[in-house]
Structure formats: C-alpha cells, structure tokens
Chain A
Amino acid sequence: MTGSIGPDSRRMPDPTLDPLADLLARTALGDRAAFRMLYDTTAPRLFGIAVGLLRRRELAEEALQESFVQIWHRAASYRPGSAQPISWLIAIVRNQALDRLRYAGRRPEDGLPDEDEIADVDGESHPDPLALLEQSVDALQVRTCLDDLQGSPRQCLALAFYRGLSHSELANHLDAPLGSVKVWLRRGLDRLRRCLEALT
C-alpha cells in the first residue's frame, strides 16, 4: 500500500515518486485500466475509512462508489506537487462520507451512532476512536506534545475525526453542553496545530 505513515507529518512528500500519481495521471487521460488499478490499490483503505465514518456498510459502499465516479471525472484536477495522491483520495472519500452522514446517513430516528453497530462489519469490532488517535499521534510524532490534551478535548477530537460527529452529536454523546464541546474542540484543534507547527 502506498502512502504509508511517514515520520514527518508536515514535510510535503514528492508525489511524482508515488505510483498512485502515475495511475491518477493515466486516469485523467481516460485510461480505464489505470483507473481499475487505482481502485484495486486504494479501495480497501478508502472503504475502511468510509465504514468507520458511516458505520453502515451499505452507506459506505455508496460513498465509495460515488467517490470513485468523482475521482474518474476529477483526476485531472489533482495537482502533483501538492498533497500525496492517497491524501487527495482520502479527502474525497471522507468528504463524500461526511456529506452522507449529514444528509442521509444519520436520520433523527437513527439516534446517536451505536458503538456496537460497527461490530457487524465483517464480524469484527472497529477500533475505538481514541485508540485510533493514539496510533496517529505516534505517526505524526506529536505524542509528547499532545500529552497535554487529555479527557474530553482529546475525546472530542477523536470522535469528530474518526466518527464524523457534529457539535450537537458530540454534546449528546458526551452529555455535555454545546458550548463546552465547542471549547474542547477548539482547544484540541489549537493544540494539534501548535504541535505540528513545532515540528516544522
């Protein structure tokens, strides 16, 4: 799998060295074989991310399908020299999943997402958002710096990123006032920004 977690989170890699960049460029020229290869290479990674956000397999399948139709049409808009191709693809899938989460995926009658629902996906339990954030802080080399961020602010950041919870959903989930959630999220975001800035 290309695009594995690297040591320096802020250094922009050279996307032209990435085989995915070549597949994207050929996709932009209408090369269906390259597009298929791009799908085969990245779909498991992207589907895992969509499932994590949407918590319902059929919605994640729709999001993945729609994302790849977009990727086919928008491949020419990928700019080599900016983010890595896998980062560009992940952004498309996350945005597609977040849209569905807001508009279709989480109707009022569904209530808050149930942590147990995810156990239905392939019969395996999905990692807890806080556990995923733990892995990320190592990958981003911000563990020491982010140690100051504990409790609710850390949980807010994890739930917002890995579960796509909105402010009001976070407030319900954590049984906290909406104002507190906003403060925690801002604190988490500011801390992460400072930690990443310190690396550069």
Chain B
Amino acid sequence: MIALPESRLDELAARCALGLMTPRVRRRFLRIAARDPAAFEALARWEETAARMAMAVPEIAPPAAVWRAIDARLAPAAQAAPVRRGWLDWLRPALGFALVMVLAAGLVQMIGPRPMAPNLEQALPASYVGILADASGRARLLVSSQRHGRTLHLKWLSPPEVPPGMQVELWALPAEGDGFRLGILPTSTPAEVAMADTSEALLSRVTRLAVAIRPAASEASAPPVTFDLTGHCAKLW
C-alpha cells in the first residue's frame, strides 16, 4: 500500500490517464494502481474522463488486415478443444510438460554441445532448460544453457512475427522478487544470446521464463505488463 494524500493521488491518476507521464513513470503508477484500491479508483475515474475526451476524436474504420493479423497471432487459441472435466485432465498438463522436457533434453543434445567441443564445459548437456509456450499451450521456444556458461542456446519451434520497431525480449521471473531481462532474442533458429553472467548466477532462483514482444528501446528496468510466451525454467542437473 502507498500512503499518498488523496489530492496527490488524484493528480498522479490524472497525469497517467491524460498521457502526461513518461511511459516508464506511467507503468510504475499502473503497477501501484493494480494493488492499491485508492489509486485504482482514482485512475478509473480519470480514465473515464480521458475516454470522454477521446470520444471527440472521429472514428476511422481500420483495414481488414488488422483483424487478420490479430486473428493469426491468436489462431492457436481458436483451435483449442472445449474444456472436458475428469481426473485425466488434471494429469494432462503434467504429462505434457514431462513429455516436452524429454523431447527438450533430446533437442538440447542435438543443438547444444558441439561434437568437437574444445573444453569439457561445452561438451556437457545443458543444465538449465526452458520451454516457452503461447497462450494456447503450444510450445514455441526452447531455451537452454550450461550451468557455468554465459550463452543461451535458442531454438524456435515456431518463430514469432515481429512488427517493425519491435523487439523480442526474454525475461527471467524468480519465484520471489522482480523479474529481469535476460536479453534481446533473434528470431533466427538455432541462435545464441550472450548473458551478463553465468546461468548458475542468473537462473538458480528463476522458476519461469517469459518472452515479450515490445517496442524497440523498451527499458530493461520496466518489466512488460503482459507476456506473449511463458514457460517453466527447470534445472536438469
């Protein structure tokens, strides 16, 4: 909870809703509003005012290509089967994850260490593995790294379409504490990304990995509000 006077809270909410904050400050205030009822209420009131002001702007019909692009990005969700209830459904995610992990281990063996690795570290199988899936649960990206390595190995199972001016960011999400950006990902596959430190130092407390497609030059200190892909980060050995 924050302890701001009501008038100050109202002013911040007004600045946020009317677009008078920088994106970074706005995101910070939105995070506060998500957990503070007074801030949330002030923001909702000003978003109502902002919407009424925005209503004066004339409507323009968007081209059909916009919906097609949205539909394509969400397409797998449309193919999802209806929800069925039963004890097997409870097991299905776990079985699916286990199967993907087995497949991932095989893939890591294939794309990870080189046959003529110059040192032992490179010859070892990956220690950290993540399989990132989209909203429909379809696996899209395999991430692996060696325990003391500073390189992330990537294999896109289905590379994303990245609009101009946007970039693909990989975020590490610890069980506790703030997430942090691991790096900017290429969409070529397989690919490698250099990390700031070793996997052991960076990932030992990380339980989930996530990918966000955001405007280029987005700040590493400002975590995305939503992610396009998420998945477990598992330590295999």
Closest chain B residue, CB of each to CB of A134: B56
B125-166, CB < 8 A from A: 135, 163-166
**Chain B residues, Cβ within 8 Å of A94:** 19, 50, 54
CB neighbours (8 Å) of B77 from chain A are 30, 32, 72
A-B contact count (CB 8 A): 177
B53 within 8 A of A: yes
| Contact in complex: B49, A6 (CB < 8 Å) | no
Q: Does B108 contact A (CB under 8 A)?
A: no
How many interface residues does A have (CB within 8 Å)? 71
CB atoms of B217 and A45 under 8 A apart: no
The one of A9, A43, A69, A185 in contact with B48, judged by C-beta atoms closer than 8 angstroms, is A9
Across-interface contacts of B51 in A (CB, < 8 A): 3, 83-84, 86-87, 90-91
Interface of chain A residues 119 through 159 with chain B (CB within 8 A): 121-122, 126-127, 132-133, 135-136, 139-140
- Contact check, A83 vs B52: say whether CB atoms are below 8 A apart: no
A84 → chain B closest CB, angstroms? 7
Do A189 and B20 touch (CB < 8 A)?
yes
- CB of A102 within 8 A of chain B? yes
- Encode B43-86 as 1/0 by CB contact (under 8 A) with A: 01101111111111111111101110110011001101000000
Main SS class of interface, A:
helix
Q: Which residues of B contact A185 (CB under 8 A)?
A: 20
Q: Is A115 an interface residue (CB 8 A)?
A: no
Known contacts A44-B60, A99-B23, A103-B218: A161-B53 contact under CB 8 Å: yes
Task: Decide if A177 is an interface residue (CB 8 Å cutoff).
Answer: no
The interface residues of chain A lying within 8 Å CB-to-CB of B15 are: 189
A70 close to B216 (CB less than 8 A): no
| Interface pair A12/B47, CB less than 8 Å apart | no
Please measure, in the bound complex, the distance between the C-alpha atom of A18 and the C-alpha atom of B190, giving whole angstroms: 48
**A189, B14: Cα distance in complex, Å:** 8
Is A198 an interface position by the 8 A CB rule? no
A173 within 8 A of B: no
The reply to whether A39 and B70 contact each other, CB–CB distance below 8 Å, is yes
- The answer to whether B60 touches A102 (Cβ under 8 A) is no
B226 interface residue (CB < 8 Å to A): yes
The reply to whether B80 and A44 contact each other, CB–CB distance below 8 Å, is no
- Find residues 164-186 in chain B having any chain A CB closer than 8 Å to their own CB: 164-166
> In the complex, which of the residues B55, B165, B216 has the most CB atoms of chain A within 10 Å of its own CB atom?
B55
Residue B26 at the chain A interface, CB threshold 8 Å: yes
**A70, B225: Cα distance in complex, Å:** 9
B121 on interface, CB distance cutoff 8 Å = no
Q: Which residues of A contact B65 (CB under 8 A)?
A: 61
- The residues of B that contact A60 with a CB separation of less than 8 Å are 62
Q: Tell whether B41 is near chain A: CB-to-CB under 8 Å.
A: yes
Residue of B nearest to A71 (CB): B70
Task: Compute how far the CA of A33 lies from the CA of B31 in the bound complex, rounded to whole angstroms.
Answer: 31
Do A196 and B49 form a contact, CB below 8 Å, given A47-B61, A95-B26?
yes
User: Which residues of the other chain, A, contact B22 by a CB distance below 8 angstroms?
Assistant: 102, 166
- Assembled-state Cα–Cα distance A100/B216 (Å): 9
Known: A70-B225, A83-B51, A193-B10. 14 other contacts (CB 8 A): A9-B52, A10-B45, A47-B62, A48-B58, A69-B70, A74-B225, A82-B41, A84-B48, A98-B19, A102-B23, A127-B57, A132-B57, A140-B49, A189-B18
4 nearest interchain CB pairs? A104-B165, A87-B51, A103-B215, A44-B59
Interface residues of A (CB under 8 A from B): 1, 3-6, 9-10, 12, 30, 32, 36, 39, 43-45, 47-49, 51-52, 59-62, 64-66, 68-70, 72-74, 79, 82-84, 86-88, 90-91, 94-95, 98-100, 102-105, 121-122, 126-127, 132-133, 135-136, 139-140, 160-162, 164, 166, 185, 189, 192-193, 196
Residue contacts A-B, CB under 8 angstroms, 12 given: A30-B77, A47-B62, A48-B57, A51-B60, A62-B163, A64-B66, A90-B50, A100-B165, A160-B18, A162-B57, A189-B15, A193-B14
Residues of B within 8 A of A (CB): 10-11, 14-15, 17-20, 22-23, 26, 40-41, 44-45, 47-63, 65-67, 69-70, 73-74, 77-78, 80, 135, 163-166, 215-218, 225-226, 228
